[in-house]
Structure 1
């Protein structure tokens, strides 16, 4: 049960990733390094080329995906959020919000959304168009986002959500802090030899170079073995033979926060090809919070920092950086165990397994390719 729940959660978190459409990013946002400005009415085209107008600063916001909710929490707009998806419950205080989605793929309870009388609904493009049209038909403003593919797009999305919701100051501060964290990581690992890194599932699905997860690995100073697969698929399926041939030196495992705290090797199934790699032999299993790695939102800097610390501990230490994370994942190596600082109490749960079953990730791949 743990493994099934984790599998569905990971996929839906990625499926519900959001980022502004190219037109939106260019139309509104801080230009030429200027300050982010919130002005209403605000009009812009969303990912579905729908002309969206927000007449006044929203007081009631519904988020249909967890990354939008996480962004609202980080930029200081959480009090405006009245509705969340079923995967946003990990956020502090989220239990007092209405859950308006369910199932897999995630479906929206349109009547419930309408009953909340929101001024604005933030929706991923994986939500079916009929639901969006029904909500708009009730006179409610809906902004649809595209899938994320880079760290820079997460910066843009954060700023855009800030402008759409009237939280420009918080969005600008959040993006500034993110950029500082990313710059610290990149400066620390610059010039270092990049270890081979694999993030994936039991079925061999992984993040390619044209995904934000793949980019996180690279910017943390690792070399994503999926780069060698020579495929245009964003989340390709790698064979056991390919993974063994690449012989990753580090494996990144993402698990829900309630299941953090176990020995890092315990997350690798007995029959996994990972047990035949250098990463397993040397104990280089990096365990991160799936709510941070799988959602294109501000907390993505947390797993990036953890990876940099694991891949290049001496170089990172020499950079004289200070990190504060919102979870307490542990990285176990053959020589030492290091635990990041924490602001939340965590308790170890059942072993969730290594990743997502093939059938579930097949849905992920199809949705990612469909884009809209």
Structure 2
């Protein structure tokens, strides 16, 4: 597992440099692990949003336009689903639909029960043969997977398999919308809407508890990279009560960060995923964060995946940085849970879900990453991995 977590973080870094959806194939670092989220960047057009909120929102056949501009038709409630990256798999688990999943990527192995599914991973991305062999009714593809293996996705579509590609985003609201959307696509509308509502409630209660708190400067680092403005991880940090120092330094997306910027920012807190420790360099050692031991280590599968458990990543940060506000948040959450239990439920109705609009595909890259990585940088990362295995 430790090796997989390291591989996942590494993959995220490399994918960061893949061209946007439709670009050249590349390995995906925080793989979908850093594909962030916003309600605008997701996969359904305005007509789909309207159709999703109709009275029979969970009926089939269902047609939706994904982030690639492809009209995806799902003829019947899918019973065999393949997920090509762990965020989609985690979402299926979180809405209680794991029994419908017949294939996952190797990086979803942390989810309980995946040993009963097919491993559809191949060299540098999904295996077309393994996916087809799983006989899926629907394939869910996060943007990073598509950016890294567009040709393989198109091969699946050529076989008549419905494939839905999600777009990248920038926030926890993206994750909530994605959760609803996956519920709609898979015929689990009510479960998707309920899980999304739980996420939104948690975020709102964290914001309430942090209302009067000062937010210290935080910096997320992983293998020499950081999460700047317009990133999912940046929003997780903000929700946990930090100010994103990388964004303040005019860094946008997932980019390398040099020692000079680290020294200038002097972050009070540093946030890292597991198995990607704070670099032991004079620059990092000089920061207030390192000198005061203010380093928050977060589960990689929560911090770097745009899926429901990302809320846990925000909670982990909040508990470390604002312990008193965190206690208040827990009290607010307990009260909200108690209120929901004592509230008389409304008459049963068909659940309506929202599917966010999908923007035009651009060349800014898979999970929010933009610039191209040099061969030397990739080689260095591979060498680092080899040394740590």
The two structures share one fold, judged by TM-score above 0.5:
yes
> Per-residue deviation at 1:30?
8.5
Shift of the alpha carbon at 1:9? Answer: 4.7
Q: Is 2:133 aligned against 1:115?
A: yes
Work out which of the residue numbers 3, 21, 30 in structure 2 matches 1:14. 30
Equivalent residue number for residue 238 of structure 2: 218
Q: Which runs of 5+ in 1 are unaligned?
A: 260-266, 325-362
Equivalent-residue separation in structure 2 for 1:199 and 1:5 (angstroms) = 18
- What SS class does the counterpart of residue 243 from structure 1 fall into? helix
Query: 1:137 and 1:296 mapped to 2: Cα distance?
Result: 28
Q: Structure 1 residue 96 and structure 2 residue 116: aligned?
A: yes
The residue aligned with 1:262 is none
Pick closer, same or farther for the CA change 1:94–1:284 going to 2, 3 Å.
same
- Going from structure 1 to structure 2, the CA distance change for 1:206 and 1:36 (only over 3 Å counts) comes to farther
Q: How does 1:246-285 map to 2 (within 5 A)?
A: 246-255=265-274, 267-271=277-281, 273-285=283-295
Choose from 176, 197, 206 the match for 1:155: 176
- My pick for the range that moved more, 59-68 or 149-158, is 149-158
Task: Give the secondary-structure state (helix, strand or coil) at the position aligned to 1:181.
Answer: helix
Is residue 74 of structure 2 the alignment partner of residue 54 of structure 1? yes
Q: Partner of 2:100 in structure 1?
A: 80
- Report the 3-state secondary structure (helix = DSSP H, G, I; strand = E; otherwise coil) of the residue aligned with 1:177: helix
CA distance in 1, matches of 2:226, 2:207: 23
CA 1:163–1:214: 2 relative to 1, 3 Å:
same
The alpha-carbon deviation at position 148 of structure 1 amounts to: 2.5
Q: Which of 4, 7, 11 is residue 5 of structure 1 equivalent to?
A: 7
- Tell me how far apart the structure 2 counterparts of residues 142 and 41 of structure 1 sit (CA, whole Å): 15
Bigger Cα displacement from structure 2, 20-29 vs 273-282: 20-29
Contact 2:121 2:130 in 1 (8 A): no
1:303 to 298, 302, 313: 313
| CA apart distance, 1:64 | 0.5
Partner of 2:152: 131
Within the candidate set 186, 201, 205, 1:184 is matched to 205
Distance 2:288 2:241 in 1: 18
Given that residues 235 and 365 in structure 1 are in contact (C-alpha distance below 8 angstroms), is that contact kept between their aligned partners in structure 2? no
Q: CA RMSD in A?
A: 3.0
Report the CA distance between 1:131 and its aligned residue.
1.1
8 Å contact from structure 1 (residues 251, 286) kept in 2:
yes
The answer (yes or no) to whether the contact 2:84–2:105 under 8 Å persists in 1 is: yes
- The runs of 5 or more residues in structure 2 that have no matched partner are 14-27, 335-363, 372-389
SS at 2:318's partner residue?
Answer: helix
Give the counterpart of 1:164 among 185, 202, 217: 185
Tell me by how many angstroms 1:220 deviates: 1.6
- Which residue does 1:352 correspond to in 2? none
Aligned CA distance change for structure 1 residues 72 and 273 (closer, same or farther; 3 Å): same
| CA positional deviation for 1:72 | 0.4
For 1:369, what is the secondary structure of its paired residue? coil
Tell me how far apart the structure 2 counterparts of residues 299 and 366 of structure 1 sit (CA, whole Å): 18
> In the TM superposition, what are the counterparts of 1:17-56 in structure 2 within 5 Å?
17=35, 21-22=41-42, 24=44, 26-28=46-48, 37-56=57-76
